[in-house]
Amino acid sequence: MSEFLRRFARQFSALNKDNLQSLGELYSDDIHFTDPLHEVQGLAQLRDYFGELYANVSELRFDFHGFDQIGDCEGYLRWVMSYRHPRLAGGRLIRVSGCSHLLWHDKVYRHRDYFDAGALLYEHLPVLGRVIAWLKRRMG
C-alpha cells in the first residue's frame, strides 16, 4: 500500500477554493497535468485551472477508493468525483468515476486524469445531452 498515494489523496480531498495555495505542497513547479478536457503546464497554470474549476461549481468532492502503486514513484488513484453546477442537470449532484495516473519524486510532477467527459459535462447540457443519450441508445 502506497503511503505517498494515501497522503496525496487525503491532501487533494481537502482542497477548496480557499486553500489552492497549498497545491505547491502536492505538485512540483513543473507539473504537467492532463485530463480529457484540459492540459496544463506549471504550478501557476494549475492554480488558475483549479481556481476556475472551484469558482464554477457550488460543490465539488473527490472520494478516493483505490491506491495502486505500480512501480517506484508511479501509481494510480481511483476515485468518484461529485459536483453540482448551477447550470447543469438542474443543479443536481453529478457523480463521475475516474482514475489518476501519478508520477512523483518528493512531489507529483505528472498527473493524468482519466474519466468519461460525457458523463462529466456533455450529457448534462440541455441540447447536447439529449443528442448523446440518443446516440448511446442507438449504439447500445
Is the pLDDT at 1 greater than 60? The verdict is no
Q: Residue 13 — pLDDT band, cuts 50, 70, 90?
A: very high
Evaluated on CA atoms 15, 11, 112, 31, the torsion sign reads positive
Query: What are the pLDDT digits (tens) for 26-74?
Result: 999 999 999 988 899 999 999 999 998 888 788 889 999 999 999 999 9
Q: Does the pTM exceed 0.85? A: no
pLDDT at 4: 96
Q: Decide: 80 and 65 in contact? Cβ < 8 Å.
A: yes
3 state SS for 47-111: HHHHHHHHHHCCEEEEEEEEEEEEECCEEEEEEEEEEECCCCHHHCCEEEEEEEEEEECCCEEEE
Tens-place pLDDT, residues 76-104: 999 998 988 777 667 788 888 899 999 99
Cα dihedral across residues 110, 114, 120, 121: positive or negative? positive
Count, residues in the chain: 140
Q: What is the pLDDT of residues 117-129, one digit of tens each?
A: 665 554 545 555 5
Q: Which residue has the higher pLDDT, 130 or 109?
A: 109
Q: Is the pLDDT of residue 131 over 70?
A: no
Does residue 133 have a pLDDT over 80?
no
